[in-house]
Chain A
Amino acid sequence: DADVTQTPRNRITKTGKRIMLECSQTKGHDRMYWYRQDPGLGLRLIYYSFDVKDINKGEISDGYSVSRQAQAKFSLSLESAIPNQTALYFCATSDGQADTQYFGPGTRLTVL
């Protein structure tokens, strides 16, 4: 079974809609991250959380919000989706002992 899972795997939505992407992990890690990946580009950090009560903005947090419901769950919301948020979104975890991150399979989001 996958240690980091993301749902949905694919989503097509319309401009202005609210979207939630969910991430769950069974690795027991405290640290969780949300990234977006655009074609030909690396990973850009949206938000990260070091424990349930800790939420931090990354380099591109505008237009996004997150919720850390439990150690194992970290969700990303787009309150009002726009076409330039079309991208591949990855969730990742880290144990905090080293900065190695473990990634989920990604969610492909298309905003029309």
Chain B
Amino acid sequence: GESVGLHLPTLSVQEGDNSIINCAYSNSASDYFIWYKQESGKGPQFIIDIRSNMDKRQGQRVTVLLNKTVKHLSLQIAATQPGDSAVYFCAENIGNAGKSTFGDGTTLTVKP
């Protein structure tokens, strides 16, 4: 069967390694998903988004994967750098309702 990555509140990786951050979303009607990065002392910032008609989207060093069957979202960061250390949140949205539901966040720490 399908294996689903666990959501972990913290993740520690070595600089240069790839990171995978997981998120389970709650509403099967959600059709738009966003990953945000929150650095210490700052507000969350948009990283990448994906719509439900896609299962993968790539950005610069980041890839988002969407598995609607198991309501799971993941963020992959390639060649993780110290500047990637932050809290990462997923957010789910329905249509253009204008409200996002945020996950609890994963704190990523990059070790030099």
Contacts and interface: CB of A to CB of B under 8 A. Distances in A.
Interface string A88-100: 0010101010111
B44 A99 contact: no
Interface stretch (B11-19, B59-67, B71-79, B95-103): B95-103
Nearest to A45: B99
Interface string A65-93: 00000000000000000000000001010
B104 A103 contact: no
Contacts of B43: 4, 90, 92, 103-106
B28 interface: no
B104 A42 contact: yes
A45 B36 CA distance: 16
Interface string A16-50: 00000000000000010000000011111100101
Given A40-B9, A41-B104, A48-B99, A99 B34 contact: yes
Contacts of B96: 96, 98-99
A102 interface: yes
A94 B46 CA distance: 12
Given A99-B32, A100-B46, A103-B43, A42 B105 contact: yes
Interface of A: 4, 31, 40-45, 48, 50, 58, 90, 92, 94, 96, 98-106
24 contacts: A4-B43, A31-B98, A40-B104, A40-B105, A41-B105, A42-B89, A42-B102, A43-B102, A45-B99, A58-B99, A90-B43, A94-B98, A96-B96, A96-B98, A98-B96, A99-B91, A100-B46, A101-B44, A102-B46, A103-B45, A104-B43, A105-B42, A106-B41, A106-B43
Interface of B: 9, 32, 34, 36, 41-46, 49, 89, 91, 93, 96-100, 102-105
